[in-house]
Amino acid sequence: MSEVRLLAWSEDAPGTAVEEAAALLARGEVVAHPTETVYGVAAVATHREAYARMLAIKGGTAPRPFLVLFDSRERLHEAVGELPPGGEALAEEFWPGPLTLLVPAPADLADWWSGPEGHVAVRVTPHPFCRSLIRRLAAPVLSSSANRAARPAPFDAPSIKAELAGTGLALIVDAGPLVGAPSTLLRWTDCEWEIVRRGPVSRAEVARVLGGDASLPALR
């Protein structure tokens, strides 16, 4: 298997990284890329075969759902419909940004987007590379941290290359070291929001949004 290629990208000097990554994704390949949090691996969300390839690269013992990244709330609504109560207030306040919502998956959603409990993880990304990539594909992307299962999330391209060498990863888009953290993760369950993972959006910030209107659901 050939050595995975690194391709430099920056907002000031984007080069051909978006075009080359999009072409690979459109063929069902998987690429590593910068995000607003940590480096991720991505596959086009509409390809089941690409999902399977991403599973193989991540490793682990069981299938799993991945985050679905969108470039806008409008595209997200087209795919998953309306958000649960309080979801629009959270989206208005924190999207685009590092807040991921686990929401009930519509019945007609692609089955590889959702987990065994019937939730799909969604986020609107503010990262310029991700937004350009999604717009060029005209489709959302599946995304997960660029590491093997149960390993720490990577913050630079050399770490990804060392971690995922020989797995079938097609390209690493190198934006230099990142200083982010995994996103805050909220799940809608039993008619309320639950913090599953703490991250850049604090509990106090979430509680402020949900607590600002008595008609909105509680946070636990």
Across the range 202-212, mean pLDDT stands at 90
pLDDT at res. 52: 94
pLDDT of residue 116: 84
Task: Give per-residue pLDDT as tens, 117-126.
Answer: 899 999 999 9
Q: Which of 185, 114, 194, 204 is nearest to 145 (CA)?
A: 185
The reported pLDDT for the residue numbered 24 is 98
pLDDT averaged over every residue in the chain: 93
pLDDT average, residue stretch 155-184 = 94
Residue 3: the pLDDT is 84
Strands 40-44 and 31-33: antiparallel
Q: How confident is the model at residue 215 (pLDDT cuts 50, 70, 90)?
A: low
Q: Which string of DSSP letters, residue by residue, matches the chain?
A: -PPPEEEE--SS--TTHHHHHHHHHHTT--EEE--SSS-EEEEETT-HHHHHHHHHHH--SS----EEEES-HHHHHHHH-SPPTTHHHHHHHH-SSSEEEEEEPPTTS-GGGB-TTSEEEEEE---HHHHHHHHHHTS-EEEEESS-TTSPPP-SHHHHHHHHTTTT--EEEE-------PPEEEEEETTEEEEEE--SS-HHHHHHHHHTSTTSPPB-
Would you say residue 151 has pLDDT above 70? Answer: yes
Read off the pLDDT of each residue in 78-107 and give the average, rounded to a whole number: 96
70-74, 120-124, 145-149, 168-172: the lowest-pLDDT one: 145-149
pTM for the structure as a whole: 0.92
Using a pLDDT cut of 70, give the percent of the chain over it: 95
Domains of the chain: residue spans and CATH: 5-211 (3.90.870.10)
Question: What value does the mean pLDDT take over residues 7-26?
Answer: 97
- Residue 77: other Cβ atoms inside 10 A: 14
Arithmetic mean of pLDDT, 149-169? 92
